[in-house]
Amino acid sequence: MKIQAVLIDGFKNLSNVKIGFHNITALVSLNNFGKSNVLAAIDFGLAFMKATMENKADMMANSNLIPINSYMVGRNYKFEMEILTELNGVEYRVLYGYEFAWKCEESAEPYIVSEHLKIRPEDKGQKYTQLINRDRQRAFYKSSETGRCSSKINVELTELVINKLRAYDEIFYAEIIKKMNGMRFYMENNLDAKSFYQPDPIIRKGLEDMAVDAESLPRVLYQLQEKNPSKFALLKEVYKDLFPNVEDIIVRQYKFNGGDSGILPDDAPFLIANSIHVLFVKDRNLMHPMDFAMMSDGAKRVFMILARIILANEGNVSLIAIEEPENSVHPGLFQAYIQIISQLLDDCKIIITSHSPYIVSYLNPSWIHVGISGHPGIAEFYALKKSGQRLLQQDAADFKMSIGDYLFSMLADDESDWADYLECGIHE
């Protein structure tokens, strides 16, 4: 599934934030504005879709996420996403969203306010067909291609209709329901990636096969090398493009007598494998390959991010978030780094956060969402309109500044007029 856009409202300090995704999308603002809150809200929204009813109730009562700004007190959480996917060989555009009321008081009962699902063929001129229509009292779904969205379905107050419909294999859009319940999001915010390179025979159940969020990168890459050697070779090549001194990346398996046979109970949440895996790097300046864990923090993080992107295409990961990628790459490599990331993407999209004018200067202006606010303490993000993109480039050139430097000079000036740059004026 190709995620195209998300809408988030009523999460911490986020107010009606709509992000349209390009292959790479950048959230740009000053420090401590709310960029990380956007990533957390997307993670929360997708996790809520897959959570059990009991966990949903707990999530709806999380006091750390409930808006407390006076402008937003009492606002519900809203999450909507736009997706492209195939069904029976036809590409469809999907709109899915839900809204729930936060449990703001101990006596309050958490409940889902509304939920909707609509699809239409991507061909021009097609109208949306309603598949789910739910409010607090009633829920309906479309049970046949020729019928209307009028079949009643009983759901609990903290249950989503898309969760209930997982068992309805006979509906014609069952494949879409299955894909939506399986959508995955990965957030990369580890500035110190050393732990991911340590040999570890302990494997969490459910992550025995290749997984973008697995904790042992060498094991996952060994599986990639065995199952898809061409993609492992691609990973090595793009990494060597960024680090020319690297001649080869080698992953090895070391077996030992062990494993979890007769040791762990059946309900243990992890397995103990009978092998460990170690990742080595061969540098042209060294006599022998060295353990990849000995590389610099930046080099380890870059390799991990590139690996996650390639693995995402193997495991239904729709979106990868990277916080402050400039903290792992030398400024001279920014342009090549961004180009390589963009070339590696398939169905997966990347969203990054940055407060660095250097990396912003290497981004296409259409990828940028600028964080500004019309109310104190509230985070809002707006894309640059097409005329605003051209104006930004022209104004930066007039002042003999990079786009990044000019953009951040405007962010730092409370008197900046954004009306000619952004798709939605801050004072509208």
Tokens of 330: 């030398």
At residue 428, the pLDDT reads 38
> Locate tokens 């107010």: which residue?
15
End-to-end C-alpha distance for the chain, whole angstroms: 34
The reply to whether 51 and 173 lie within a common domain is yes
The reply to whether 321 and 399 lie within a common domain is yes
Strands (E), 195-314: 202-204, 246-255, 270-272, 275-283, 290-291
Domain of 114, CATH number, reads 3.40.50
Amino acid at 215: E
Of 189, 193, 194, 187, which is closest to residue 324 (Cα–Cα)? 189
Which segments in the chain show pLDDT lower than 50? 269, 425-428
At residue 427, the pLDDT reads 40
The reply to whether 399 and 291 lie within a common domain is no
Please report whether residue 21 resides in a domain.
Answer: yes
The reply to whether 31 and 141 lie within a common domain is yes
The reply to whether 93 and 125 lie within a common domain is yes
The reply to whether 385 and 251 lie within a common domain is no
Helices (H) and strands (E) in the chain, counts: 11, 19
Please report whether residue 26 resides in a domain.
Answer: yes
The reply to whether 207 and 90 lie within a common domain is no
Query: Do β-strands 2-9 and 77-87 pair in parallel, antiparallel, or remain unpaired?
Result: antiparallel
Domain that holds residue 8: 1-183+316-428
> Locate tokens 């390799």: which residue?
303
Backbone dihedral angles phi then psi of residue 18, each to the nearest 5 degrees: -115, 125
The reply to whether 20 and 131 lie within a common domain is yes
**Run of H or E residues at 347:** none
At residue 212, the pLDDT reads 62
Contacts of 70 (CB under 8 A, 6+ apart): none
- Tell me the per-residue pLDDT of 266-291, one tens digit each, with 9 for 90 and over: 655 456 667 888 899 999 998 899 98
Please report whether residue 130 resides in a domain.
Answer: yes
364-394 burial, b for 16+ CB within 10 Å, e for fewer? ebebbbbbbbeeeebbbbbbbeeebbeebee
Please report whether residue 310 resides in a domain.
Answer: no
Rounded CA separation 103/203 (Å):
36
The reply to whether 165 and 204 lie within a common domain is no
Please report whether residue 307 resides in a domain.
Answer: no
The torsion angle over the Cα atoms of residues 30, 4, 393 and 379, rounded to 10 degrees, is -20
At residue 190, the pLDDT reads 59
Helix axes 297-312, 217-227, angle to 10 degrees: 40
Helix axes 229-242, 297-312, angle to 10 degrees: 140
The reply to whether 142 and 260 lie within a common domain is no
Q: Whole-model pTM?
A: 0.88
Do 195 and 221 touch, CB atoms closer than 8 A?
Answer: no
The three-point CA angle 278-282-287 to 5° equals: 115
Please report whether residue 288 resides in a domain.
Answer: yes
Do 394 and 380 touch, CB atoms closer than 8 A?
Answer: no
The reply to whether 39 and 150 lie within a common domain is yes
- Tell me the per-residue pLDDT of 308-351, one tens digit each, with 9 for 90 and over: 898 887 777 889 998 888 777 777 788 888 889 888 888 889 99
Please report whether residue 300 resides in a domain.
Answer: no
Please report whether residue 311 resides in a domain.
Answer: no
Q: Is 345 exposed, middle or buried (0-12, 13-18, 19+ CB in 10 A)?
A: middle
At residue 35, the pLDDT reads 93
The reply to whether 334 and 427 lie within a common domain is yes
Q: What is the number of structural domains in the chain?
A: 2
Which CB contacts under 8 angstroms, 24+ apart, belong to 266-271? Answer: 268/205, 269/204, 269/205, 270/202, 270/203, 270/204, 270/205, 271/202, 271/203, 271/204, 271/205, 271/208
Of 148, 174, 156, 161, which is closest to residue 117 (Cα–Cα)? 161
